[in-house]
Structure 1
Amino acid sequence: MQRITVAIDGPSGSGKSSVSKEAARRLNAAYLDTGAMYRAVTWHALDAGTDLADAAAVTAAVKAAELFISTDPDVERITIHGTDVTEAIREPFVSAAVSAVATNLQARAELVARQRAIINEHERIVAEGRDITTVVAPDADARILLTASEEARLRRRGLQLGGTQSAAELEAQVLARDAKDSTVVNFQVAADGVVTVDSSELDFEQTVATVLEAIKAQAA
């Protein structure tokens, strides 16, 4: 089969994880959730008692993290030093702290290197995050910015979390985190050569189909 690398970026709640995972299935490709990597090393730093305000300490914690992430779109599993943290990294306390790692430039450089290594290991892969189209894999065969309105993103994240978060908590997780992360990477506006897919008025199947069409057009 043809070698293909697909890069998909987007803000929180845009649906990029679920859509990218399904696109990977249909393309018979691997899937890389780079956001989960940031969450995992954040969990690791917190578990180790790292002061997240200490940039050097955060960088050291990230570099020391023995991280494994599944690239099978049907198997969601991530471990730190052999400990399964698949569920733990989705907890609100990790969401509240992850920007401290994501905005640390040296920590980002370490994770970008790991992400590129994973991508290079696969003939076919869909990688998603916030800087995949511009930093991690700017030469990807297909590059897409998946976005949606604030209203749609807040609604989707609320459903994803089963209604356990208040409106203020959702805004902190979605909008406030995006604002912090956008200080080091632009994932709100498509870079040159990146196709924008707005899923605000699309259901899941329509969004997947639109993304696959964009991939086909670019990778042809």
Structure 2
Amino acid sequence: MQKITVAIDGPSGSGKSSVSKEAARRLGAAYLDTGAMYRAVTWHALDAGTDLADADAVAAAVKAADLFISTDPDVEKVTIHGTDVTEAIREPFVSEAVSAVATNLEARAELVARQRAIIAAHGRIVAEGRDITTVVAPDADARILLTASEEARLRRRGLQLGGTQSAAELEAQVLARDAKDSTVVNFQVAADGVVTVDSSDLDFEQTVETVLEAIKAQAA
């Protein structure tokens, strides 16, 4: 099959993970959730008792992390030093701390290098995150910014978490995290050559189809 690299960025709650995963399935491609990588090394740093206010210690923890992430869109698995953290990295305590790692420039450089290696190892792959279209894979065959209104993003994240979070907790996880992460990477506005897909008024299937059409148009 034709080689293809698809880069998809977007803010929290935009649907980029579920949409990217389904797009990968339909394209017969691998899938890389870079956000899960940041969550995994954050879990690792917390588990090791790392002071997240110590930038050097955080960077060292990330560099030392033995991280595995599945690239099969049908198999969700993340391990750190052999420990399965697939479920643990979605816990609120990780969500609340992940920006401390995501805004650490040394930590980002380490993970970007790992992400590029994973992408290079696959002939067909859909990679999603916050800096894939601009930093990790700026030469991807198709580059998309998947976005949605603030209201839609908060609603979707609330449903994803099964209604377990209060409005204030959801805003902290979605809007506050986006504000922190945007200090080191711009994932709110499409860079030159990046196609914007606004899913605010689209259902899941419509969003997937729109993304696939954008990929086809760019990779033709």
Secondary structure of the structure 1 residue equivalent to 2:145: strand
Q: Find the aligned partners of 1:156 and 1:217 in 2 and give their Cα distance.
A: 28
Q: Find the aligned partners of 1:76 and 1:96 in 2 and give their Cα distance.
A: 22
Q: What corresponds to 2:204 in structure 1?
A: 204
CA deviation digits over 1:14-43, x for unaligned, max 9?
000000000000000000000000000000
Structure 2 unaligned spans of 5+: none
Q: Find the aligned partners of 1:43 and 1:107 in 2 and give their Cα distance.
A: 14
Q: Find the aligned partners of 1:129 and 1:193 in 2 and give their Cα distance.
A: 17
CA deviation digits over 1:115-152, x for unaligned, max 9?
00000000000000000000000000000000000000
Q: How far did residue 6 of structure 1 move?
A: 0.0
**Identical amino acids, percent of aligned pairs:** 94
Q: What corresponds to 1:117 in structure 2?
A: 117
CA deviation digits over 1:77-97, x for unaligned, max 9?
000000000000000000000
Q: Find the aligned partners of 2:103 and 2:29 in 1 and give their Cα distance.
A: 30
Secondary structure of the structure 2 residue equivalent to 1:185: coil
Structure 1 segments of 4+ aligned residues over 6 angstroms from their partners: none
CA deviation digits over 1:53-94, x for unaligned, max 9?
000000000000000000000000000000000000000000
Q: How far did residue 192 of structure 1 move?
A: 0.1
Equivalent residue runs for 1:155-174 within 5 Å: 155-174=155-174
Q: Find the aligned partners of 1:44 and 1:123 in 2 and give their Cα distance.
A: 30
Structure 1 unaligned spans of 5+: none
Secondary structure of the structure 1 residue equivalent to 2:108: helix
Q: How far did residue 51 of structure 1 move?
A: 0.1
TM score, norm. by length of structure 1: 1.00
Q: Find the aligned partners of 2:150 and 2:140 in 1 and give their Cα distance.
A: 28
